[in-house]
Amino acid sequence: MIDLGLSEELRGAVDGLGGRVIVRSSSPLEGDGRWAGAFSSVTGVRGEDVATAVRSCWASVFAVDPLRRLEGCGLELAVLDLAVLVQPEIVPEAGGVARTSADEVIVEGVPGHPGMLLSGWTEGASARVRWPGGGLARDGDGGLAGLVGLRTVADVAELAGRVHAELGDEVIEWAACGGRVWLLQSQPGAPRPAGSGSPSAGSEPAAPLPVAGTRVPGTPAVPGTAAGPLVACRPHEPAARECRGAVVLVDRPVPGLAPLLFGARGVIARAGAASSHLAEVARSLGVPMVIGCRPEAVTGPDPAAGAWFATINGGTGEVVLTPA
């Protein structure tokens, strides 16, 4: 409940923070990648709307997605312990995710607000920056430096490297505004399955999947190999039982699909980005994932559950389809 006194206090806080804020959900569980994108945030909030925005964040606990994630993790509702943050809002000129490894920083982003990238609705672009020492190693598909500027890419890589050195966190979310790069949040990277690390420059290419069938190209997202019946799913469909032990096919990696990953063997997304929240959930669960793959070129527009068997390599983007 938000009584009149608290409502007035919230309005005063918004005025003190410049009159426009972002209201964000915050739970202790969010340090665990299985909870990426689970709760609501409300942007562009003025004083007269702040109480409603706070209620919206609190109510997001009871949405289908978080409740099913609780079930998948074997946890009770009380452990969410949801708090709400009211913060000054910046209007990003660009934003995205950066991931630090032993010798490089992979920067992914989009012009404008990063929310579309994180929620799986756009693909974005990427760049690899040598670390430590800086220097653009390779501008990825789509050329992030060409979209947001080489200086921004370098500043994001430097910020990600500093966060890794000081906090040990491998993943940051970033935004660029007014010539500065802002740290939105950071977290440890999900552990990678043995032998599934991203190949470094100059390493031998991975061997093709040793299975027969029709090969469909895709883009690497989450390393690892998996095989199982191909099951097409959409957010909030009652398909969790069908997805258990299956390779799940989705249109885009939207966060509402996260509960299906707790029983899935792998994920194929027709579109989206490797830096989406759903990909972070897959990394935390050790579920291989390929993006930018369109199996309907082989299966037809609506593959029936169990009619096709899929084998995927999330480290190379390879997908092999076989009639069941």
So what's the pLDDT on residue 233?
A: 85
pLDDT tens digit sequence for 170-218:
999 999 999 999 999 998 876 544 333 343 333 445 667 878 889 999 9
Task: Return the CATH fold of 214-323.
Answer: Glucose Oxidase; domain 1 (3.50.30)
So what's the pLDDT on residue 141?
A: 53
pLDDT interval class at 155 (50, 70, 90) = very high
The sheet that has 83-88: what strands, in order across it? 41-45, 21-26, 83-88
The answer to whether the beta carbons of residues 228 and 265 sit under 8 Å apart is: yes
- 214-323 and 94-187 share a CATH fold: no
The token pair at 60 is 């997001």
pLDDT interval class at 284 (50, 70, 90) = very high
pLDDT interval class at 131 (50, 70, 90) = confident
Distance of alpha carbon 310 from alpha carbon 85, whole angstroms: 43
**pTM assigned to the model:** 0.85
So what's the pLDDT on residue 306?
A: 67
N-to-C CA span, the chain: 54
pLDDT at 13 over 50: yes
Own/partner pairs for 147-150, CB < 8 Å, 24+ apart? 147/94, 147/109, 147/110, 147/111, 148/93, 148/94, 148/109, 148/111, 148/176
So what's the pLDDT on residue 51?
A: 95
What is the chain's alpha carbon radius of gyration, rounded to the nearest angstrom?
20
pLDDT at 28 over 50: yes
Rounded to the nearest 5°, which phi and psi values hold at 296?
A: -60, -15
So what's the pLDDT on residue 62?
A: 92
pLDDT interval class at 143 (50, 70, 90) = confident
- Domain definitions of the chain by residue range: 4-88, 94-187, 214-323
So what's the pLDDT on residue 285?
A: 95
The answer to whether the beta carbons of residues 311 and 209 sit under 8 Å apart is: yes
So what's the pLDDT on residue 140?
A: 59
Residues 6+ apart with CB under 8 A from 162: none
pLDDT interval class at 142 (50, 70, 90) = low
So what's the pLDDT on residue 190?
A: 64
Range 112-141 average pLDDT? 83
The token pair at 117 is 């990238």
pLDDT at 12 over 70: yes
H-helix or E-strand spanning residue 10: helix 4-16
pLDDT at 123 over 60: yes
pLDDT tens digit sequence for 65-121:
999 999 999 999 999 999 999 999 989 999 999 999 888 999 999 999 999 999 999
Out of 4-8, 137-141, 305-309, which region has the weakest mean confidence (pLDDT)? 137-141
Beta strands in the chain (DSSP E): 21-26, 41-45, 83-88, 94-100, 104-111, 125-130, 136-139, 171-177, 180-187, 214-216, 219-222, 225-232, 247-250, 266-269, 289-291, 308-313, 318-323
pLDDT tens digit sequence for 228-258:
999 998 766 655 567 889 999 999 999 989 9
So what's the pLDDT on residue 209?
A: 80
Rounded to the nearest 5°, which phi and psi values hold at 39?
A: -115, 165
The answer to whether the beta carbons of residues 43 and 114 sit under 8 Å apart is: no
Transcribe 161-207 into DSSP letters: HHHHHHH---EEEEEEETTEEEEEEEEPPPPPPTT-PPPPTTPPPPP
Please give the CATH superfamily to which domain 94-187 belongs.
Answer: ATP-grasp fold, B domain (3.30.470.20)
pLDDT interval class at 44 (50, 70, 90) = very high
pLDDT tens digit sequence for 287-316:
999 999 999 888 887 777 668 999 999 999
